[in-house]
Amino acid sequence: MSTDSKASGSVFDIVKWMLAIALLGAAISGNYVFPELGTLYRVLAVVALMLAAVGVALTTTKGQAFMVLLKEANKERRKVVWPTPVETRQTTMIVVAVVILVGLGLWGLDSLLSYLVELVIG
C-alpha cells in the first residue's frame, strides 16, 4: 500500500512542480509583457508570484525535505563556537603578515630569475 501512496504522491509532486514552474514563468513573462504597468506594480507582481511558486514547491516531498535540511543546518549553526574579536584580529594580522612575506619571497624569486635570464640571454 505504501507504494501506491508513493506513486500518487509523486504524481501530485509532479503537478506541484509544474505549477511552481508555471508561476515562475508567469512572473518572468509578465514582467516583459506588461511594460506599461508601473515598475512598482511589476515588482510586486513578480515577488508575489515567486513567493507563491516557492510556497507550492515547499509542499512537495523534496520541498519538505529541504525545509528539514534547513532546520538541521540552523541547529548545527547554533553549535558553532565563534571566535572572539581579539582572536579574529590576531588571526587577521597573521594572515596579512604571511601574505606580505610570501609576496616578498615571490618578488625576490622573480627578480632573481629575471636577473639569471638576463645573464643567459645577454
Between 1 and 48, where is the model more confident? 48
Cell reading at 104 = 616578498
Do 13 and 35 fall into the same domain?
Answer: yes
Do 24 and 46 fall into the same domain?
Answer: yes
Do 56 and 33 fall into the same domain?
Answer: yes
Confidence of residue 38 (pLDDT cuts 50, 70, 90): confident
Alpha-carbon dihedral sign for residues 19, 21, 27, 29: negative
Do 3 and 14 fall into the same domain?
Answer: yes
Task: Domain count for the chain, please give it.
Answer: 2
Do 74 and 97 fall into the same domain?
Answer: no
Do 90 and 71 fall into the same domain?
Answer: no
Q: What's the whole-number average pLDDT of the chain? A: 90
Do 23 and 68 fall into the same domain?
Answer: yes
The pLDDT of 39-57, averaged and rounded, is: 92
Confidence of residue 39 (pLDDT cuts 50, 70, 90): confident
Domain range enclosing 62: 1-80
Do 73 and 102 fall into the same domain?
Answer: no
